[in-house]
């Protein structure tokens, strides 16, 4: 009896050790054009939508909220290019949104982070919006995704299209799917199907929702619940948030029911600042999608990693989407190679409560070497609108998160220092391959 009991205990210990050595699954949940103040876990969440995102908010409650989280771009396509490579997208000419039908895409010389995970034994999936290239050689299946279930273009209607174009139809590895159902539901269902089919091996899922990007087409039943919101645009935008939250919840429930939640990193964030013209609210930030002010690049961030991240914790260190690739690789147990020339840093130790990240500059640019540029260093944020011929502006974000008081005149040495760093960084970039500032 004692031997049997000892054997059982030993077997349990072996199984426990094996489980701890299993690389974590990774689920990256990505909303589109949402406002900074439009999720319940955000301290400044607007009252009209505060109760609409309980499942998204649960990620922060069970994990960590990152208060100073950024994207590397202020519009959809460039922000994805930076996040998926771990490199500033200006290094490969990706300052601007990819126009529909463009005969190129994200440089084929760049390696996606998901490709590195694929080589580490991960099964990989992109569910939803791509927006990084249309020709076959730029297709998600060629860039590291075993499964692509989504659309190539940047947006589409939420309801079935009578005659969807090849770049707006929801395809599955190159084959069009039937136009049945509501798009946000279709993407949530596809993510759950992938998770269930691959639960016996490590997987990476990039669930790239189109919600709440326009067009503002909520389900009628969701819009009906929001009659207290007077403005129609805001009400319809909020309806898109309802279906977004429901499908995030669907994925979280799937992880739990399949016994995977304890070994899965779940990240929720948004691709760029909220589009206020379509109902988003970025309070207390200045600006919106398409601008380099805080309202254009600072976004909501929440990460859950059971057993690693203390529930309900908050991290104030400035972080950026470029940090995700090195974080995923390190979490998978692999080394980050210098030859990759990544611009981000791994967050794995910081997420687990280790000391704050070292101060580092974060940079942004749009429309090439004659367009706008900005940077953050510590609490300082510098803006340089060259297109309008304006002088650099300097803000102290610790006291002025809304960027209302320009301190450039009072802090000339700080301006000089940061401009020199901006110049050095920009000297490493190339001109845009398309759009404003392109040389062709």
3-class SS of residue 320: strand
Query: How do residues 229-259 score in pLDDT, each as one tens digit?
Result: 999 999 999 999 999 999 999 999 999 999 9
Cα distances (Å, whole numbers) of residue 63 to 43, 110, 286 = 16, 32, 28
The confidence score (pLDDT) of residue 20 equals 52
% of the chain with per-residue pLDDT over 70:
95
388 φ/ψ angles, rounded to the nearest 5 degrees = -90, 0
What is the pLDDT at residue 9? 42
Rounded average pLDDT over 266-291 = 98
Residue 36: per-residue pLDDT: 98
The answer to whether residue 58 scores a pLDDT higher than 70 is: yes
pLDDT tens, position by position, 279-329: 999 999 999 999 999 999 999 999 999 999 999 999 999 999 999 999 999
**What percentage of the chain has pLDDT greater than the value 90?**
94
**pLDDT for 7 beyond 80:** no
Among the four given CATH numbers 3.40.640.10, 3.30.470.20, 3.30.1120.10, 1.10.1040.10, the one describing domain 361-426: 3.30.1120.10
The pLDDT of residue 4 is 47
Mean pLDDT of 56-80: 98
CB atoms within 10 A of CB 355: 8
Question: Positive or negative, the Cα torsion across 166, 172, 178, 183?
Answer: negative
What are the extents of the domains in the chain?
22-351, 361-426
Instruction: Summarize the confidence of residues 116-140 as an average pLDDT.
Output: 98
- One fold for 22-351 and 361-426: no
3-class secondary structure per residue, 336-405: CCHHHCCCCCCCHHHHCCCCCCCCCEEEEECCHHHCEEEEEECCEEEEEECCCCCCCEEEECCCCCCCCC
Give residue 21's pLDDT: 73
What would the pLDDT profile of 8-43 be if each residue is shown by its tens digit? 444 443 444 334 578 999 999 999 999 999 999 999
The Cα–Cα gap between 271 and 60 comes to: 18
Give the per-residue pLDDT at 18: 39
Q: Are 106 and 92 in contact, with CB atoms under 8 Å apart?
A: yes
pLDDT category of residue 389 using cuts at 50, 70 and 90: confident
Per-residue confidence (pLDDT) for residue 388, from 0 to 100:
83
Q: What is the pLDDT of residue 302?
A: 98
Architecture of domain 22-351: 3-Layer(aba) Sandwich (3.40)
Instruction: Tell me the catalytic residues.
Output: 76, 131
Q: Is 142 exposed, middle or buried (0-12, 13-18, 19+ CB in 10 A)?
A: middle
Mean pLDDT of the chain: 95
Q: Do the Cβ atoms of 371 and 385 come closer than 8 Å?
A: no
According to the 3-state scheme, what is the secondary structure of 42-57? CCCCCHHHCCCCHHHH
pLDDT band at 387; cut points 50, 70, 90: confident
Write the CB contacts of 353 (distance below 8 Å, at least 6 apart in sequence): 310, 313
Whether residue 2 has pLDDT greater than 70: no
> What pLDDT score was predicted for residue 46?
96
Strands 319-320 and 264-270: unpaired
Query: In the structure encoding, which two tokens stand for residue 304, read together?
Result: 């859950």
How distant is the alpha carbon of residue 361 from its chain centre?
20
Pairing mode, strands 313-315 and 301-304:
unpaired
Task: Report the C-alpha gap between 367 and 347 in whole angstroms.
Answer: 30
402: left (phi over 0), alpha (psi -120 to 50) or beta: alpha
């Amino acid at each position: 009896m004692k031997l049997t009991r000892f054997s059982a205990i030993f077997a349990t210990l072996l199984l426990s050790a094996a489980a701890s050595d299993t690389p974590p699954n990774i689920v990256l949940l990505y909303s589109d054009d949402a406002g900074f103040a439009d999720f319940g876990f955000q301290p400044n969440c607007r009252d009209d939508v505060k109760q609409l995102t309980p499942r998204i908010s649960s990620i922060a409650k069970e994990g960590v909220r990152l208060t100073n989280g950024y994207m590397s771009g202020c519009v959809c396509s460039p922000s994805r290019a930076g996040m998926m490579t771990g490199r500033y997208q200006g290094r490969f000419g990706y300052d601007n949104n990819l126009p529909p039908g463009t005969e190129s895409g994200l440089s084929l010389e760049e390696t996606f982070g998901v490709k590195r995970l694929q080589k580490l034994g991960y099964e990989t999936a992109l569910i939803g919006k791509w927006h990084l290239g249309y020709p076959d050689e730029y297709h998600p299946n060629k860039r590291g995704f075993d499964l692509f279930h989504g659309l190539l273009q940047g947006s589409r209607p939420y309801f079935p299209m009578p005659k969807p174009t090849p770049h707006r139809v929801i395809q599955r590895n190159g084959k069009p799917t039937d136009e049945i159902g509501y798009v946000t539901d279709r993407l949530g269902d596809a993510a759950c199907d992938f998770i269930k089919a691959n639960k016996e091996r490590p997987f990476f899922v990039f669930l790239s929702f189109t919600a709440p990007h326009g067009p503002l087409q909520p389900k009628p039943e969701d819009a009906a619940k929001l009659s207290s919101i007077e403005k129609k645009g805001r009400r319809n935008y909020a309806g898109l948030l309802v279906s977004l939250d429901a499908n995030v919840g669907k994925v979280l429930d799937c992880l739990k029911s399949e016994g995977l939640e304890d070994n899965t990193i779940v990240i929720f964030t948004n691709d760029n600042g909220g589009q206020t013209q379509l109902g988003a609210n970025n309070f207390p930030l200045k600006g919106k999608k398409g601008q380099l002010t805080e309202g254009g690049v600072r976004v909501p961030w929440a990460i859950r990693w059971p057993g690693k991240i203390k529930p309900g914790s908050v991290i104030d260190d400035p972080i950026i989407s470029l940090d995700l690739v090195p974080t995923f690789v390190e979490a998978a147990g692999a080394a980050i190679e210098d030859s990759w020339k990544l611009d981000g840093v791994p967050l794995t130790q910081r997420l687990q409560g280790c000391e704050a990240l070292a101060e580092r500059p974060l940079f942004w640019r749009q429309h090439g070497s004659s367009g706008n540029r900005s940077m953050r260093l510590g609490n300082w944020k510098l803006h340089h609108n060259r297109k309008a011929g304006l002088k650099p502006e300097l803000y102290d974000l610790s006291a002025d998160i809304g960027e209302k008081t320009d301190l450039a005149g009072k802090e000339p040495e700080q301006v000089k220092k940061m401009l020199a760093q901006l110049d050095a960084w920009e000297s490493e970039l190339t001109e845009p391959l398309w759009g404003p500032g392109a040389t062709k």
